[in-house]
Structure 1
Amino acid sequence: MTRDSESLDKDVGSQEKTWKRFVWDTLDKSPKERRFLLKLDLTLLTLGCLGFFTKYLNQANLTNAFVSGMKEDLGMYGNELNYAMTAFTVGYIVGEIPSNILLTRIRPSIYIPSLQVVWTLLTFCAAGVKSTSGLYALRFLIGLAEAGYYPGLQYMIGSWYRKDEMAKRACILNASGSIAMLFSGFLMAGVTGLDGRGGLPGWKWLFIMDGVISFPVIVASYLFLPDLPDTAASRRIFSDEEIELAKRRMALEERRQRAPFSLAKFKKVFTSWHIWLLSFYYIFISGTGGTPIFPQYLKYHTNPKYTVQQINLYPSGVFAMQAFSAIVYAWISDTVLKGRRYPILLFGAVLNLITLGSLAVWYIPENWKWACYYLAGAHVGLSGIVFTWANEICTDDTEERAIVLATMNTMVGVMAAWLPLIVWQQIEAPRYRKGFITATSMGSVSLILIVVIKLLQDKETIR
């Protein structure tokens, strides 16, 4: 080990872990590493969360617009909402894997904000849509533009942060999406006052406001979003010393730098259990497929009859639960469980079985039914832990990491493209008997897959 390496190692964390790490993981690290992580959190994490907020705000706004007048204005009395969501999902499927591969070769500080520009402009266009066919086309293109954002940010988190830091950042990122879903209900309730202003109904103003909120985030991302540690472009934000510190941190995690793509590389990726089991596991924990089951329950409820404002606001508690649980899971996993991911995932799987199983029964006390809708949000909070686990399992091959993370999200999209049309049909709202039974069965399989993946990970570690 060279003298420079020895000096860098002194700056990479402290020798003794203290109680301070339970508050925030940088507090018991060296001053140089603390300054570096603060700068990284203020750029990558903050801008990533703001961008993810605007992305999810756009996704949530479709459902809020639907229950706030779009259904009637566009004549969406059949399964048109399902078709619009499927169009978005198809775009998402097409774009994810190519996007993450491009991200390993194009500067993220240019590529990621450019994706934001495209989906923001398309969101503005949604305010002028006049037919369901136009809506389907827009949702497909928006899905295509948004496809690379989430897996791309998870790849970036895995390229900069260490094992004791990743879960918190990944879950904070997820929480920002849940907060967007929560905020969308309040935004829709707020823009009802603009109904008729400029000749536009309130639901169209919702899309306009979404686009307005996005533009400041785009500008900041072009200016301050970092690239990868091994690219010279990152020196516009970090000093040479901080870049070397970042590289040393990744070397200590055995996280490899980028390498050329080749046939052998693709063969290695697609013949490994990593890509298949992690993708199938993520499919089976995503049983509800983004279906707006709680808003639909409120919309069809007759005693009492809920107002448009109530239908938009009451489901906000689900998203608050998602954000809260994501943060709690991350702190427990990184600190109490010392970086172990599977115990939290097992807990979430069991909780999911209880809530979805209860809704599958359906004829349960009203208070427990509401509790199940809210508690179902705690399972969504696990996504950050799942992607952190995938980052760790694929730590020794950066191209594999990029492809696996994108494939996990893509496979969920493939399932979401057709499963809701069969088991989550809008015409079967609000009971969704087939949907809840299917989701409960998928949750049972996810329990088995957690155990299998953990055993295979341990086997690789022993090797």
Structure 2
Amino acid sequence: MSEKYSAEMPEAEAPIRDELDSSKVIDSASVDENSITSDPQDIDQKKLDRIYRKLDYRIIPALWCMYFLTSFGGGAYGNTLVMNRDKGHSLSQHLRLSRKDLSTASALYYVGYIVFDVPMNLIMTKVSPQSWLARIVITVGLVYTCYSSLSNPGGLKAVRFISGMVGAGTWPGMSYYISLWYPNERITRRIGYYFTATQISVAVGGLVGAGVQHIDGNRGYTGWQWMYLIYGVITMTVGVSLLWWLPDRPFKTESESTGKLSTFYNRYFTTSHPLNEEEKAIHQLDIKDKQVVVKWGYKEVFEIITDLRIWPIIIMYFGVVGCGIGIDVFAATIITTNNPKLTDVQVNLLVAPIWLFDLAGILIMTPLADKFKKFRPVIFSFGCCIIMAGLFIMTYAHGPWKKYSGMLISGFGLGPTVPICMSWSNEIFSKRYGDVGSAVSAALVSGFGSLGSVTVTRAFYSSWPADVKRQFHYSNMMLVMLLGVSIMASGVTHFLKDRIRQVKN
């Protein structure tokens, strides 16, 4: 019988639990047994809340910085395409990029990301998660530093594909990492906390780009070359710091290597556990279902991919991410089209509040999704309805400021939707497939769901010339349709979430 399942299972699958390799079970903290209850229900919740707040102070800022920097690269790339174009020094002008070159480079980035998302996250289940996340940030910084040496369109296409490849596993990897430290009822808000980094990076990217333009020509480098050099060096530095900033797994396994190289690495390139012995014991009791590292092979990966429950979640993610990218990438274009009298500076200032509303949606609604887990499809659908309401106002309201208010409303609704998708996939797939279920489901949802970004950027708004004259009415309504499909997919997910395959002997 297979050994792939985690300890948290329905009764029908309980026999598998007894066959797990005992060598994989954690080493319990050495504390007074009389001071720690064996029943998770009897744990002092106030003490448990303090423990998770302590973990928050250590883990969330590190993940936030990681996601901020890896997200910043996409915005930096967009800025450098037009940076210092009045002097003929933009990346597009310097490399003589055609529209076809730009679209191909964009597509290759997503190809690299989608193809390598699952393999990268699978590797993370076999190695030190903290080291793997640090590796992602370091290599992203290294590759973007190489952008400063670009001299032809072919080089841009190659480096965009490599960017997608080395950055693959970032978002699902963080989701997997957070699932190691927190029980599912505490995950959504934590994902929401570091998800805010991408909104802030959009606003900061424009300000940094404006500043870097002023050093165009210094020491023979153009503004876009300085942008990539500065960004790359900072990103690599933070990536190295994550080795000591992020703690590794919350528990150790007896199967871990004890060789000289591993001992040296663990001594000098990892940090100590953030909790004291008593806190560690309480924490391990609260996440006792995650104290087994489950064996897996290609058969288990195939079973997750063919599990019907993964595809509705991917569709949920597809719709909301496509909508989010549409508003993100084309916000300035939409505002300018609705109110052509605005200056470039005014347009940039008006983009930032959209993501502040998005931040508010995250902070208000993700705690509810954790507290009322059974109502996650309702909360997700409610967020989608808010986005749809904003899109209808953007489309049919009279006057540019009323249309702009629709963008703010849509931003608020977008906030909680992505974190709910990630935490829900973890809840469903970790129950049956354990460690590998969390990792593969996160990668599949992130990878295939990101095709929504490709669809929107290549088919809607400014990529749909005929719709520009209609003030993007059709593009907005296509997003409404995508959101409607996402809502239906959330209902299907709710219906299927407890329909688990029969165990095969």
Distance 1:377 1:206, change over 3 A: farther
SS class of match (1:228):
coil
Choose from 302, 325, 333 the match for 2:361.
325
Equivalence for 2:122: 101
* Separation (CA, whole Å) in 2 of partners of 1:164 and 1:54: 28
Query: Any conservation in 1 of the 2:245–2:271 contact (CA below 8 Å)?
Result: no
C-alpha displacement at 1:443, in angstroms? 0.9
AA partner of residue 251 (structure 2)? D
Choose from 25, 28, 36 the match for 1:8.
36
Q: Deviations over 1:81-117 (max 9, x none)?
A: 4433322211111221001100000111221111111
- Alignment of 1:399 onto 2:427: no
Query: Any conservation in 1 of the 2:212–2:223 contact (CA below 8 Å)?
Result: yes
Taking the TM superposition and a 5 Å limit, the aligned residue runs for 1:14-413 are 29-30=46-47, 33=48, 36-68=51-83, 69=85, 70=90, 71-76=92-97, 78=99, 80-231=101-252, 236-238=272-274, 239=276, 241-251=278-288, 254-255=289-290, 257-288=292-323, 290-291=325-326, 292-297=329-334, 303-304=340-341, 306-307=343-344, 309-335=345-371, 337=372, 340-359=375-394, 361=395, 364-382=398-416, 383-396=418-431, 397-413=434-450
Distance 1:366 1:311, change over 3 A: closer
Distance 1:356 1:301, change over 3 A: closer
Equivalence for 1:21: none
Query: Any conservation in 1 of the 2:323–2:456 contact (CA below 8 Å)?
Result: no
C-alpha displacement at 1:145, in angstroms? 1.2
* Separation (CA, whole Å) in 2 of partners of 1:74 and 1:375: 39
SS class of match (1:113):
helix
Equivalence for 2:257: none
* Separation (CA, whole Å) in 1 of partners of 2:140 and 2:205: 17
C-alpha displacement at 1:80, in angstroms? 4.7
Equivalence for 1:457: 497
Q: Bigger shift: 278-287 or 258-267?
A: 258-267
C-alpha displacement at 1:434, in angstroms? 5.1
Distance 1:311 1:447, change over 3 A: same
Q: Bigger shift: 58-67 or 84-93?
A: 58-67
Query: Any conservation in 1 of the 2:147–2:159 contact (CA below 8 Å)?
Result: yes
AA partner of residue 60 (structure 2)? L
Q: Deviations over 1:93-146 (max 9, x none)?
A: 122100110000011122111111111011112233233332222221111111
C-alpha displacement at 1:272, in angstroms? 2.2
Q: Deviations over 1:154-211 (max 9, x none)?
A: 0111111123421221100101221111211221222232233233333333323322
* Separation (CA, whole Å) in 2 of partners of 1:128 and 1:427: 33
Identity %: 21
* Separation (CA, whole Å) in 1 of partners of 2:479 and 2:290: 35
AA partner of residue 459 (structure 2)? I
Query: Any conservation in 2 of the 1:195–1:202 contact (CA below 8 Å)?
Result: yes
C-alpha displacement at 1:153, in angstroms? 0.7
SS class of match (2:341):
coil
SS class of match (1:236):
coil
AA partner of residue 45 (structure 1)? I
SS class of match (1:117):
helix
* Separation (CA, whole Å) in 2 of partners of 1:35 and 1:328: 21
Distance 1:140 1:267, change over 3 A: closer
* Separation (CA, whole Å) in 1 of partners of 2:101 and 2:323: 18
AA partner of residue 270 (structure 1)? I
Distance 1:305 1:81, change over 3 A: farther
Query: Any conservation in 2 of the 1:109–1:225 contact (CA below 8 Å)?
Result: yes
C-alpha displacement at 1:297, in angstroms? 3.4
Query: Any conservation in 2 of the 1:13–1:29 contact (CA below 8 Å)?
Result: no
Q: Bigger shift: 412-421 or 399-408?
A: 412-421
Distance 1:380 1:205, change over 3 A: farther
Query: Any conservation in 2 of the 1:186–1:312 contact (CA below 8 Å)?
Result: no
Q: Deviations over 1:429-461 (max 9, x none)?
A: 85455543332211111111122222333667x
C-alpha displacement at 1:399, in angstroms? 0.9
Distance 1:380 1:289, change over 3 A: closer
Distance 1:459 1:93, change over 3 A: closer
* Separation (CA, whole Å) in 1 of partners of 2:324 and 2:380: 18
Query: Any conservation in 1 of the 2:316–2:421 contact (CA below 8 Å)?
Result: no
* Separation (CA, whole Å) in 1 of partners of 2:486 and 2:34: 44
Unpaired segments of 5 or more residues in structure 1? 17-27
Distance 1:200 1:379, change over 3 A: farther
AA partner of residue 217 (structure 1)? V
Distance 1:459 1:136, change over 3 A: same
RMSD: 3.2
C-alpha displacement at 1:405, in angstroms? 0.6
* Separation (CA, whole Å) in 2 of partners of 1:272 and 1:5: 41
Q: Bigger shift: 45-54 or 447-456?
A: 447-456
AA partner of residue 132 (structure 2)? Y
Equivalence for 2:503: none
AA partner of residue 64 (structure 1)? N
Query: Any conservation in 1 of the 2:251–2:291 contact (CA below 8 Å)?
Result: no
* Separation (CA, whole Å) in 2 of partners of 1:445 and 1:6: 53
C-alpha displacement at 1:50, in angstroms? 0.7
SS class of match (1:230):
coil
Distance 1:407 1:63, change over 3 A: same
Distance 1:364 1:127, change over 3 A: farther
SS class of match (2:440):
helix
* Separation (CA, whole Å) in 2 of partners of 1:260 and 1:220: 31
Q: Bigger shift: 239-248 or 380-389?
A: 239-248
Larger Rg: 2
